[in-house]
């Protein structure tokens, strides 16, 4: 079992979170601390400062989560179809289902404005670690230190915004060992240019998701407008005509969301035994309930398709992570590495005195968390029970009234000054809200809340208002006025008093649940999050001290650089080639008898004759990617686009906690397939010309 052994070896070195002794192409590297030595030694590549700036400023962050890149002189942005699908859904109506039919604006005035999408381009990164650390004297209690740091972070952001006019965020790296100020140019006039049909973007559906060989045209195009005109960006990526070949180095610039590679073993076990099982349970429920809703009519299926896909995707991803956590070799190797590091700290009296036992601090924080995890997670975060659009609007309005009077640095983080523009965009979005879907979400959400906390729980009783879940949901949706954007604006303007006086049933529901929810959130931030952050910052410093600084921090939804060659792998004893072809999609359809989700759209079957079936379609590479990297451009050494990342294979799902490249791979759409399809399937020659124009 060579593969097995390789996995263990690699995991061993990966445990430290980017320890440089690692032989694999691991790492989610900072643009202001790029892996120059490794790139040079391992791949003979020595990117210039100009190269790095060009790629950085050609990269785009999507407010909806996900990555993208500027690919033309006229502000064209490429991303994944599944990154743009929320917008495609919002732009659809019962008579115009853009997810089903796809879309192409042959002229600029046909481009469709996306009401609540914003794109950000990272302009500068500045190290502000000293100032943030200076705000909290050493040996202050974690929660007090954290409050002091948040205050100064907010001040730094505000000062920088006033100075530069950019959107500024202080990013916490290594859980607080470092703080960097990221300044973005923010664009809000974004228009849809082209999207293929979902049936080819997500060809193979849940079955082929996270699998390879793969055949997905998971791509779509938006255009940034500024002052009513297409953006003329300073930087945008050139397109590679010839694409890349097996063994070529790829570089990926994107926004990986969250990794937990620095996690202690106790923390991994908490994920394995408490947090992930609870999250998965919630996903299983939501997946089944989304399908039930979708089954009732074609229109239901349309309006819930985005949610269904998202839930199934998360379910498959978390299942992969939990499978990794249940692999005894992974915990074993993590434990070994942790023991080495603890021993090194114990042996050094200075370190010992300064850091104490941060591993134990993490364990204590998690024991505390476990005591209120069920209630807290039922009300906030990934496992929360109530998650309808209207409920979310009500919750944001209630909290906005509470938070806005406070200084920015003392607010809940999502209400900080730097977040408000995005929040208002979402809160006042005219995106359609569907009564039936809202009723269904609230009915099932109320049932879930009761199942999580018990039917006689006082909080549940408040949520139910003396009615059955379905009666309550019906009443809430039919009586609320929150569907009216103007009503929302009035409430937001009215502040605390307007909220207190409002008799809107959803506002009242949220207000009833807020006291306990806020108490739990405070408890989480003070007793868990701050304590963890404090401890992990020390663990990171212990790593620097012991293993050197040639490493990368865990992902934080900020811009990172990954790299690695295009490379096949071996699975069940059989080689998996690194490229698929367009012809392979037709073969896969035939193999699965054209049954959904293996049914190519009519545009493909009609134009099959035109297509060069040998065109490379998707490829795999060892570049270290994770959720949030979706839509990241894959470039070659000269910075040309050779593809766009849209997925990782099933063996890469464990990368959340530990990278290995024995079998784990990122998956991208090949640049050649994009041009081939634009020209021959979608009659979008003008778009192809714009992209490939030198």
Cα separation, 417 vs 423, whole angstroms: 10
370 contributes a contact to a copy of itself by CB under 8 A: no
Instruction: With contacts defined by CB under 8 A, name the span among 82-90, 316-324, 386-394, 559-567 that binds a copy of itself.
Output: 316-324
14 contributes a contact to a copy of itself by CB under 8 A: no
Cα→Cα distances 250→56, 67, 246, 633, 665, Å: 15, 17, 10, 10, 12
Cα separation, 165 vs 418, whole angstroms: 12
Cα→Cα distances 14→55, 397, 549, 633, Å: 26, 43, 15, 25
Q: For residue 399, which of 282, 479, 507, 524 has the smallest C-alpha distance? A: 507
676 contributes a contact to a copy of itself by CB under 8 A: no
Among 93, 229, 242, 468, interactor with a copy of itself by CB under 8 A: 468
Cα separation, 670 vs 633, whole angstroms: 10
Instruction: With contacts defined by CB under 8 A, name the span among 168-176, 403-411, 449-457, 600-608 that binds a copy of itself.
Output: 449-457
322 contributes a contact to a copy of itself by CB under 8 A: yes
Taking a C-beta distance cutoff of 8 angstroms, is the pair 632, 596 a contact?
no
Q: How far is the CB of 325 from a copy of itself (least distance, A)?
A: 7
Q: How far is the CB of 285 from a copy of itself (least distance, A)?
A: 5
Segment 18 to 47, residues that bind a copy of itself, using CB under 8 A: none
Question: Number of C-alpha atoms within 13 angstroms, CB side, residue 134?
Answer: 6
284 contributes a contact to a copy of itself by CB under 8 A: yes
Q: Which is nearer to a copy of itself, 1 or 50 (CB)?
A: 1
Taking a C-beta distance cutoff of 8 angstroms, is the pair 584, 616 a contact?
no
| Count of residues of this chain found to bind a copy of itself when the rule CB under 8 A is applied | 47
Q: How far is the CB of 140 from a copy of itself (least distance, A)?
A: 34
280 contributes a contact to a copy of itself by CB under 8 A: yes
Q: Specify which residues 126 forms β-bridges with.
A: 181
Among 464, 476, 555, 600, interactor with a copy of itself by CB under 8 A: 464
Q: Which is nearer to a copy of itself, 632 or 652 (CB)?
A: 652
Segment 379 to 408, residues that bind a copy of itself, using CB under 8 A: none
Cα separation, 293 vs 89, whole angstroms: 17
Q: Which is nearer to a copy of itself, 298 or 410 (CB)?
A: 298
Q: Which is nearer to a copy of itself, 192 or 276 (CB)?
A: 276
Cβ-Cβ contacts under 8 Å for 237 (sequence gap 6 or more): 55, 58, 69, 70, 71, 633, 635, 639, 640, 641
Q: Which is nearer to a copy of itself, 235 or 269 (CB)?
A: 269
Segment 528 to 587, residues that bind a copy of itself, using CB under 8 A: none
Cα separation, 375 vs 361, whole angstroms: 23
Whether omega for the bond prior to residue 213 falls within 30 degrees of 0, making it cis, is yes
**Two structure tokens written together for 541:** 């410093």
Q: Which is nearer to a copy of itself, 316 or 395 (CB)?
A: 316
Instruction: With contacts defined by CB under 8 A, name the span among 151-159, 324-332, 519-527, 549-557 that binds a copy of itself.
Output: 324-332
Site string for a copy of itself, 196-225 (x = CB under 8 A): ---------xxx------------------
Q: For helices 417-427 and 389-403, what crossing angle results, to 10°? A: 150
- 3-state class (DSSP) for residue 206: helix
512 contributes a contact to a copy of itself by CB under 8 A: no
Cα separation, 43 vs 40, whole angstroms: 5
325 contributes a contact to a copy of itself by CB under 8 A: yes
Strands 569-571 and 616-621 come out as unpaired
Q: How far is the CB of 615 from a copy of itself (least distance, A)?
A: 27
Cβ-Cβ contacts under 8 Å for 211 (sequence gap 6 or more): 204, 649, 650
Q: How many helices (H) and strands (E) does the chain have?
A: 27, 21
Q: Which is nearer to a copy of itself, 380 or 457 (CB)?
A: 457
Q: Which is nearer to a copy of itself, 43 or 592 (CB)?
A: 592
Among 126, 161, 299, 327, interactor with a copy of itself by CB under 8 A: 327
Among 226, 273, 354, 426, interactor with a copy of itself by CB under 8 A: 273
**Two structure tokens written together for 464:** 């139910």
Q: How far is the CB of 450 from a copy of itself (least distance, A)?
A: 6
Among 134, 165, 247, 277, interactor with a copy of itself by CB under 8 A: 277
Degrees, nearest 5: CA angle 621-238-125? 75
Cα separation, 201 vs 338, whole angstroms: 42
447 contributes a contact to a copy of itself by CB under 8 A: yes
Which helix (DSSP H) or strand (DSSP E) does residue 119 occupy?
strand 119-127
> Which residues contact a copy of itself (rule: CB under 8 A)?
205-207, 269, 272-273, 276-277, 280-281, 284-285, 287-288, 291-292, 295-298, 315-316, 319, 322-323, 325-329, 331, 446-447, 450-452, 454-456, 464, 466-470, 592-593
């Amino acid at each position: 079992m060579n593969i097995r052994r390789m996995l263990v070896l690699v995991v061993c070195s990966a445990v430290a979170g980017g320890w440089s002794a690692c032989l694999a192409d691991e790492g989610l590297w900072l643009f202001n601390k790029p892996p120059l030595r490794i790139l040079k030694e391992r791949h003979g590549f020595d990117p210039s400062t100009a190269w790095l700036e060009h790629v950085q400023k050609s990269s785009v962050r999507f407010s909806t989560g996900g990555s993208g890149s500027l690919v033309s002189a006229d502000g064209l942005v490429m991303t994944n179809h599944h990154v743009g699908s929320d917008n495609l859904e919002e732009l659809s109506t019962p008579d115009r289902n853009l997810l089903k039919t796809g879309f192409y604006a042959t002229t600029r005035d046909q481009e469709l404005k996306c009401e609540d999408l914003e794109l950000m381009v990272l302009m500068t990164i500045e190290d502000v670690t000293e100032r943030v650390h200076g705000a909290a004297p050493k040996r202050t209690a974690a929660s007090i230190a954290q409050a002091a740091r948040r205050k100064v972070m907010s001040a730094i952001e505000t000062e920088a915004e006033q100075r530069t006019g950019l959107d500024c965020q202080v990013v916490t790296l290594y859980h607080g060992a470092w703080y960097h100020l990221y300044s973005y140019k923010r664009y809000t006039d974004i228009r849809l240019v082209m999207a293929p049909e979902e049936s080819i973007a997500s060809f193979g559906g849940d079955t082929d998701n996270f699998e390879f060989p793969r055949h997905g045209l998971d791509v779509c195009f938006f255009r940034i407008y500024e002052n009513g005109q297409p953006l003329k960006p300073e930087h945008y990526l050139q397109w590679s005509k010839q694409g890349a070949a097996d063994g070529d180095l790829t570089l990926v610039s994107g926004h990986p969301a969250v990794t937990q590679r620095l996690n202690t073993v106790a923390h991994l076990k908490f994920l394995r035994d408490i947090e992930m099982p609870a999250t998965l349970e919630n996903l299983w429920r939501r997946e089944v309930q989304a399908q039930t809703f979708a089954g009732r009519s074609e229109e239901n299926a349309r309006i819930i398709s985005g949610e269904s896909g998202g839930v199934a995707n998360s379910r498959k991803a978390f299942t992969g992570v939990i499978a990794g956590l249940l692999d005894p070799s992974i915990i074993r190797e993590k434990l070994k590495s942790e023991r080495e590091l603890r021993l090194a700290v114990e042996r050094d009296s200075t370190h010992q005195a300064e850091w104490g036992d941060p591993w134990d601090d993490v364990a204590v924080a998690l024991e505390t968390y476990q005591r209120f995890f069920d209630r807290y997670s039922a009300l906030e975060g990934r496992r929360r029970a109530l998650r309808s659009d209207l409920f979310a609007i009500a919750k944001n309005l209630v909290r906005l009234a509470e938070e806005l009077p406070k200084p920015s640095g003392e607010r809940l983080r999502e209400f900080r000054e730097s977040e408000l523009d995005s929040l208002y965009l979402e809160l006042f979005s005219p995106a359609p809200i569907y009564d039936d879907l809202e009723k269904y979400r609230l009915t099932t959400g109320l049932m879930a809340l009761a199942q999580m906390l018990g039917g006689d729980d006082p909080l549940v009783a408040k949520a139910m208002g003396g009615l059955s879940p379905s009666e309550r949901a019906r009443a809430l949706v039919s009586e609320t006025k929150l569907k009216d954007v103007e009503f929302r604006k009035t409430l937001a303007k009215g502040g605390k008093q307007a909220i207190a006086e409002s008799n809107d049933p959803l506002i009242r529901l949220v207000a009833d649940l807020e006291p306990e929810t806020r108490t739990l959130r405070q408890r989480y931030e003070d007793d868990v999050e701050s304590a963890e952050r404090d401890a992990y910052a020390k663990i990171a410093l212990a790593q620097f001290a012991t293993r050197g600084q040639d490493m990368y921090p865990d992902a934080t939804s900020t811009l990172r650089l990954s790299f690695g060659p295009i490379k096949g792998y071996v699975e069940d004893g059989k080689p998996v080639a690194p490229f698929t072809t367009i012809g392979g999609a037709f073969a896969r359809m035939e193999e699965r008898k054209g049954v959904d989700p293996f049914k190519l759209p009519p545009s493909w079957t009609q134009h099959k004759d035109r297509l060069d079936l040998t065109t490379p379609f998707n490829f795999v590479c060892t570049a270290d990617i994770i959720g949030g990297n979706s839509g990241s451009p894959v470039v070659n050494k000269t910075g040309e686009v050779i593809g766009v990342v849209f997925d990782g294979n099933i063996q890469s799902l464990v990368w959340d906690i530990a990278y290995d490249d024995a079998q784990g791979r990122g998956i991208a759409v090949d640049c050649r397939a994009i041009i081939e399809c634009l020209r021959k399937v979608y009659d979008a020659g003008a778009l192809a010309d714009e992209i490939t124009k030198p």
